[in-house]
Every structure is written in structure tokens, then in C-alpha cells.
């Protein structure tokens, strides 16, 4: 079984503490002494378990994606509109247990050159989410749930932008009511977005 001295801290609990810090203060705003203090471990233990600060961040980020995000579940909603509803109200439903805002936006929207790899990782994860959403809307078109004239990429971009804007609002400390208001407004506009033949880009070009 286990050889050598057993680890004295719980891996998941420690990752949760690290995640909370990165989520609140961002990657660069969180120092190693912040981390060791909150995780209740010493620097050598941290480095033995996670390699370095960036390794710890990536593990915390994985945990964020697996635990928090109902993103996977969101895409399983039966209709495109249901997907939009789930995403928007998910973004509005801030849990007092967790930091406000979205980890993918909060952690490193800007940073020094030293952390560019982390920033790129977050950009990639945001793009992956948007791409998955685009594919979900394309499926909705194929299934007849959305009209053949609907533009999956445009819908996905728009919805992602609104959710990210809600994340900025949440990070600013606005209340749940404000976020629900934005979500509701977006849903109210949803059908007008769906029922068009041209992409908004094409319309603008005329």
C-alpha cells in the first residue's frame, strides 16, 4: 500500500482553500504565504505535492471545472433555450460559500509576462466552453429545435459575452437581484436573436 510517511493534510481540502484564494485574488494576487497559511501546510509540503505555484493553480483549476461548473450539465438541457436559461441563471446564482464571479475570468485576465502561460490556459478554457456551446446550438439546428437560419456561433458568442459580463458584475459585488435581472433581460431577448436568417455581422455590413 502506502509507503513512506503518510501525507498529513487532505488533498482536496487543501485544493479547495487554494482555489478559493486564486478565485478571489487571482493567480498573481495570491502569494505563496497566502497559500501555505490557508492550506495549513509548509512550503516544502506544497512543493512536494504540487511541483510549484503554477502546478497548484492548474490542479485547483481542474477542481473548479469538475466540482463547481454545471457547464457539462448545462449543455444537456433539452432545448437551446433551456441551455441559455441554465447558463444565465447559473451565472446569477452566486453561492455565498464561494467567491463571486467566474474563476476563468477572475484568475488572470491580465498579468505580468511571467504568468503568461496561466493567462493563455484560461483563454483556452474559455474558448473551449464557447466552442462546446456553439456545437450544442449547431445540434439544436440539426434537430429542428432552432430554425435553420439561426447562427450557432453568434448565439454562443453573445451568450458567453453576457455571462462573462455578469461575472464582472459579480466580482464588483452587485447583489443577486441585479444578476437575475440581467439574466431575465437576456432571456427576454433570446427569441429575437434566434429568429434571424443572417448573422448579426452580415446585417451590420449592409
Using CB under 7 A, pick the residue from 25, 45, 81, 89 that binds DNA: 45
Q: Is 110 in the site for DNA (CB under 7 A)?
A: no
- Per-residue x/- marks for its own copies, 121-140, CB under 8 A? --x--xx-------------
Long-range CB contacts (< 8 A, 24+ apart) of 59-66?
59/15, 59/18, 60/15, 60/18, 60/19, 60/22, 61/19, 61/22, 61/103, 61/107, 61/121, 61/122, 61/125, 63/12, 63/15, 63/16, 63/19, 64/19, 64/23, 64/103, 65/125
Q: Which residue stretch of 10-18, 41-49, 141-149, 169-177 sits at the interface with its own copies (rule: CB under 8 A)?
A: 169-177
Q: Is 193 in the site for its own copies (CB under 8 A)?
A: yes
Q: Which SS3 state, helix, strand or coil, does residue 49 take?
A: helix
Q: Is 47 in the site for its own copies (CB under 8 A)?
A: no
Report DSSP state, residue 96: T
Count of residues binding DNA (CB under 7 A)?
28
Name which of 34 and 145 has its Cβ closer to DNA.
Answer: 34
Using CB under 8 A, pick the residue from 9, 29, 45, 86 that binds its own copies: 29
Amino acid at each position: 500500500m502506502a509507503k513512506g510517511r503518510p501525507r498529513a493534510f487532505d488533498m482536496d481540502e487543501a485544493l479547495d482553500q487554494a482555489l478559493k484564494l486564486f478565485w478571489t485574488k487571482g493567480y498573481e494576487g495570491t502569494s505563496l504565504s497566502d497559500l501555505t497559511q490557508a492550506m495549513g501546510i509548509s512550503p516544502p509540503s506544497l512543493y512536494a505535492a504540487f511541483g510549484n505555484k503554477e502546478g497548484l493553480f492548474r490542479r485547483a483549476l481542474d477542481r473548479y471545472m469538475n466540482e463547481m461548473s454545471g457547464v457539462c450539465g448545462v449543455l444537456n438541457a433539452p432545448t437551446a433555450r433551456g441551455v441559455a436559461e441554465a447558463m444565465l441563471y447559473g451565472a446569477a446564482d452566486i453561492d455565498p460559500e464561494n467567491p463571486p464571479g467566474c474563476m476563468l475570468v477572475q484568475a488572470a485576465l491580465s498579468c505580468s509576462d511571467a504568468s503568461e502561460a496561466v493567462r493563455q490556459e484560461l483563454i483556452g478554457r474559455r474558448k473551449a466552453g464557447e466552442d462546446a456551446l456553439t456545437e450544442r446550438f449547431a445540434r439544436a439546428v440539426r434537430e429542428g429545435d432552432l430554425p435553420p437560419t439561426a447562427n450557432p456561433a453568434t448565439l454562443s458568442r453573445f451568450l458567453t459575452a453576457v455571462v462573462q459580463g455578469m461575472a464582472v458584475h459579480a466580482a464588483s459585488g452587485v447583489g443577486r437581484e441585479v444578476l437575475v435581472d440581467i439574466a431575465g433581460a437576456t432571456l427576454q431577448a433570446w427569441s429575437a436573436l434566434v429568429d434571424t436568417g443572417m448573422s448579426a455581422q452580415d446585417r451590420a455590413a449592409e
